[in-house]
Structure 1
Amino acid sequence: MVLDIFPFLTNDFLDSLDHEERKAKVKEAFSLAIELIQKIRPSIVLSCQCFARYTYQHERWGGFTNPLIDVLSSSMSEAEQQRVSKVSIGDHTFHVIKAFNPAKIYYEDGQEKQDIDNLLRDIFSKVFSGYGKSKALHKKSLKDKLDATAAKLHKIGFKYLDLMSHYERIEPSVPASWAHEVKGDGFSELKRSVSEIVISVKKLQKEQI
């Protein structure tokens, strides 16, 4: 999920407001961002926002400031050090990994451009590659479960055919009550087996949603 620290605000919109209105709208937008973090409760936030740390210096932003802005923002020096901060908002604690806005790459030339491009790629790779591996392992686990379920269904199918063949071979001389009892036990066992399969399949379906 991508979250702007000041969501829904544009320069044109802010420029259309007076000082007090700007400050109120900026505060409202920032409060919304904090509320979203508290509701979503991420374990990691990758900060690619450097400018927000200095918004209080700009008239356009109404001089608004808040201690959390500095905590959630980043800087090139912090990104180069690949710093990670532990942050608590209310009852939720998470880690903020310092990066920078990708747009900065387009303002540089030559070796500097290549260096910061490599830096950002390295940060993103370290953050997300682990998730990719974890997701792949999870998918493999689900596939293994599905394969096992399919094998079990196959086995039950043969068992069902075998039981049917057995019932068809019951001698007419056997008392009807005995035949009913044998069939009843066999069908009960088959029903239990099929029920187990249905439950397993439902669980797998829920895991894949």
Structure 2
Amino acid sequence: MINDTEEGLSGDFNSLMLQENPSESGRPTSSQPGPSLKVSPSIQCPLDQLFKRSLQPNLNSQRALDRIDPSHPFFTKVESICQENEWPEHRFKNFRRLICGVRNFPCILLQNPKNDHLEYNEMVRKTKTLRWIQATLNEIGLELDDIIIIDLFPLLTDEWLDQHPNERAKYIKDMFQLTLDFIQEFKPPIILSCQCWKPTKKVRWGQFEHNDTQKLRSSMDGAKLQSVSGAYFGAHFTYVVQGFHPAKWGWVKEKERIGLQITLRQIIHSLFNPCATWQMDYKQALEIKHTDKIHSIKMLIYTLRQRETEYENIREEGLALGMFKNHQGSTSPEAWVALKNALDAIIGNISRNSKEPF
């Protein structure tokens, strides 16, 4: 992995002077939004500053839980790719489900899928990386479905690459472009990079090179420093938190493995704990609104029943005096019975979802 250095921040984070090589920045013109860029060899800031001046204020400004819609047109292209290649149906379904997380939250970038020919729950169960991420998220009250998970090279398993040596160069390029399309379409504000791809891997990954892979780089040294980099993808600026792939600790001794697990867990908790708190507060507010609406509906029904009883009393009194016999627009007793039954059914349904007695 690449060694990086940590630099302090000053001033508002939204106008942070990020530093990077202009040949790799993809920097937009001055009319486009985002932090101003200053030419320098590195581009780093600490994770706690990202939390204080970007992540938390962004969450505080959110008023709705914005999930990626499974019917979004982006998935039509992906489904066509899978069908053209006669890839397993679960490959597309798993890709889509992993992506359809909450857009308000940071997303996690891995390298390429594993076991994606299996049904979703079975895939997670048999994939150590997803299982570990799931367990780590569960510790802070989130589920895997709450988070967007995208691969650097989606849809391409190691097995497929090894079995198709003559086609992999094209597909590696195309699938990486799919990830870039995802970033520009859904505009994730923060990406936690846990992929471990390096251009020196010449066998399986061939001679693939692309400037944007550097923008999405991971770094074990950067992760230990809890460093954050940033770059433009088209007109969209995103922060990239440097992590590393959980498979890394399978290649080190136990003492180092424990240290690496603690490092990555701390980064995930730092990024997603505020999201878990925000989601819990959002659900509680939603529960209050739900209870208020149930109460309003019940009061309307109660008032309608009262008015119906008053109406019937007036009508019966009038009929006794020879009135209303030819009254146009009067409601038949059968209609009132039908309405009463319908209202009783409504009360029964909403009462099952409410602690408030009627």
- Displacement of 1:121: 0.7
Which residue does 2:174 correspond to in 1? 28
Where does structure 2 lack aligned partners over 5 or more consecutive residues? 1-147, 332-342, 344-349, 351-358
Paired residue type of 1:55: P
Greater shift, 158-167 or 56-65, is seen at 56-65
Which residue does 2:185 correspond to in 1? 39
Paired residue type of 2:237: T
Say whether the 8 Å CA contact 2:195–2:245 is kept in structure 1: yes
Say whether the 8 Å CA contact 1:86–1:94 is kept in structure 2: yes
Partner SS for 2:199: helix
Say whether the 8 Å CA contact 1:47–1:74 is kept in structure 2: yes
Paired residue type of 1:41: K
Which residue does 1:102 correspond to in 2? 246
Say whether the 8 Å CA contact 1:11–1:60 is kept in structure 2: no
Where does structure 1 lack aligned partners over 5 or more consecutive residues? 184-193, 195-200, 202-209
Which residue does 2:299 correspond to in 1? 155
Q: TM-score, normalised by structure 2?
A: 0.44
- Displacement of 1:60: 4.0
Structure with greater Cα Rg: 1
Distance 1:43 1:95, change over 3 A: same
When the two chains are superposed, the root-mean-square deviation of aligned CA atoms in Å is: 3.1
Paired residue type of 1:94: T
Any residues of structure 2 matched to 1:50-199 within 5 Å, and which? 50=196, 52=197, 54-56=198-200, 58-170=202-314, 171-172=317-318, 176=324
Residue deviations 1:100-145, cap 9 Å, x none? Answer: 1101122222332211111111011111112211211121122111
Say whether the 8 Å CA contact 2:161–2:204 is kept in structure 1: no
- Displacement of 1:24: 3.4
Q: CA separation in 1, counterparts of 2:279 and 2:233?
A: 28
Q: CA separation in 2, counterparts of 1:119 and 1:70?
A: 22
Residue deviations 1:125-171, cap 9 Å, x none? Answer: 11111221121112112211111111112212221222122223324
Residue deviations 1:26-63, cap 9 Å, x none? Answer: 3222212212222232222110023x2x3246254332
Greater fraction of residues in helix: 1
Indicate whether 1:4 and 2:151 are aligned.
Answer: yes
4+ residue segments displaced more than 4 Å:
173-176
Q: Which has the higher contact order (CA 8 A, sep 6+)?
A: 2
Residue deviations 1:39-90, cap 9 Å, x none? Answer: 232222110023x2x3246254332211111110111011111111222111
